[in-house]
Amino acid sequence: MLTILSKQSSLVSDFLSEIRDVSVQQNRLRFRKNVERIGEILAYEISKDLARKEVDIQTPLGKHKAQVLLEQPVLATVLRAGLALHQGFLNYFDQSDCAYVSAYRKHTSAHEFEIVVEYLAAPDLKDKTLILIDPMLATGQSMYLTYKALLTKGKPKRLIIAGLIGSEQGLAYLQKNLPDASIYVADIDAELDINSYIVPGLGDAGDLAYGEKL
């Protein structure tokens, strides 16, 4: 299942237009806040598709039957670019356990690279609902390898992938290699450039949020 929020009429399109805009990107605080807001909207949309249970709530004047989440998902984020998006999810799934993974491109030539997963901190994932968060789903390889690394902590009963912008190529890769995953993105771009960056995209999400790295 693939859900694209930009196809709906909502504030997501406004926030996306700002994080793509080079003139707005100079304001890191505004960039991070808009990414966080999109994370909140993604979390809300995903919450519609999560299992629920009925509970009795005691109000000051009586009892009320309410529908609440059956369980909190585990939020897993690719460092460091995913941190602002992760915060949006955590604002809404505020009792969730969290996992953090470092996955980066190690260049073997000017335009070739391999994905290296170096650091992983995660709770027990067995039979949990796992939401795997990364802003830019370019080739899809880092997301796939991140999920494979997380399997060392147990196999989730359900995988949900969430991102800001996905390329058509990257989303096709994930749908082929993780066919049971539900994928939610704010928007889709058609192309990857020679360096496998999404075009038009928005640039390097990590650098824009936290500063350029050496």
Amino acid at site 131 = I
- Predicted confidence at residue 114, as pLDDT, reads 66
Better-predicted residue by pLDDT, 213 or 180: 180
* Amino acid 142: pLDDT: 86
Q: Read off the pLDDT of residues 95-118 as tens digits, 9 standing for 90 and up.
A: 999 999 987 666 566 556 566 777
Lowest average pLDDT, out of 84-88, 95-99, 109-113, 150-154, goes to 109-113
Burial class (CB in 10 A: 0-12, 13-18, 19+), 71: middle
Query: What mean pLDDT comes out for the span 127-147?
Result: 93
Residues ≥6 apart with Cβ < 8 Å to 168: 188, 189, 190, 191
Which residues are CB-contacts of 134 (< 8 A; sequence separation ≥ 6)? 77, 78, 81, 82, 85, 142, 143, 146, 161, 162, 163
Average pLDDT, the chain: 92
- What is the pLDDT, as a whole number, of residue 106? 63
Mean pLDDT of 181-191: 96
- Taken in order of first residue, the domains within the chain and their CATH numbers are 2-51+66-210 (3.40.50.2020)
Q: Give the angle subtended at the CA of 85 by the CAs of 119 and 52, to the nearest 5°.
A: 100
Mean pLDDT of 3-31: 93
Per-residue pLDDT at 134: 94
pLDDT of residue 7: 83
Query: How many CA atoms does the CB half-sphere of 81 hold within 13 Å?
Result: 24
Q: Would you give the distance in Å from CA 169 to the centre of its chain? A: 17
What is the structure's pLDDT at 40? 97
Query: Which residues pair with residue 153 across a beta bridge?
Result: none
Nearest 10 degrees: Cα torsion 160, 112, 191, 45: 10
